[in-house]
Amino acid sequence: MALTGRQVRQLRSLVHHLDPVVMIGKADINDGIVAQANDSLEAHELIKCAVLDSSNLTAREAADELAERCGAEVVQVIGRRFALYRASSRKDVEHIALA
pLDDT in tens, the chain (99 residues): 689 999 999 999 999 999 999 999 999 999 999 999 999 999 999 999 999 999 999 999 999 999 999 999 999 999 999 999 999 999 998 899 998
Q: Which helix (H) or strand (E) holds 85?
A: strand 81-85
Residue 56: partners with Cβ closer than 8 Å, 6 or more residues away: 26, 28
Distance (Å, rounded) from C-alpha 1 to C-alpha 73?
Answer: 8
Give the SS3 label for residue 77. Answer: strand
d(CA 1, CA 80): 25
Within 10 Å of residue 53's Cβ, how many Cβ atoms? 7
Q: What is the C-alpha separation between 27 and 13, in angstroms, rounded?
A: 30
Residue 19: DSSP 8-state: P
Domain 5-85 has CATH 3.30.110.60: yes
